[in-house]
């Protein structure tokens, strides 16, 4: 059974569960690092001009036309 818990990792690399957790089982585990929201927003803003250039091409409108029945 897979179980996900939220943890905080301190500067020395120790893992601390956010919620009280009776016992962390020993054995294999996966750790996913979450990107802070500020970094995600900044990356999206930096990519917007390049993406806008592609999105405004007539080929894009044609490719997505079948999803826009009002047009």
Rg (CA), the chain: 22
- For the question of whether the overall pTM of this predicted structure is more than 0.85, the answer is no
pLDDT in tens, the chain (71 residues): 778 888 888 999 988 888 887 777 788 888 888 777 777 778 888 888 888 888 899 999 899 999 987 75
- In three-state secondary structure terms, 7 is strand
Give the separation between CA 55 and CA 49, rounded to whole angstroms.
Answer: 10
* Contact between residue 18 and residue 6 where contact means Cβ atoms under 8 Å apart: yes
Whether residue 40 contacts residue 46, with contact meaning beta carbons closer than 8 Å, is answered with no
- Domains of the chain, residue spans: 35-71
């Amino acid at each position: 059974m897979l179980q996900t818990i939220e943890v905080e990792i301190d500067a020395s690399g120790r893992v601390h569960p956010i919620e009280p957790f009776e016992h962390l089982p020993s054995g294999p585990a996966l750790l996913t690092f979450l990107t802070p929201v500020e970094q995600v927003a900044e990356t999206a803003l930096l990519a917007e001009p390049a993406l806008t250039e592609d999105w405004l091409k007539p080929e894009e409108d044609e490719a997505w036309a079948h999803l826009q029945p009002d047009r």
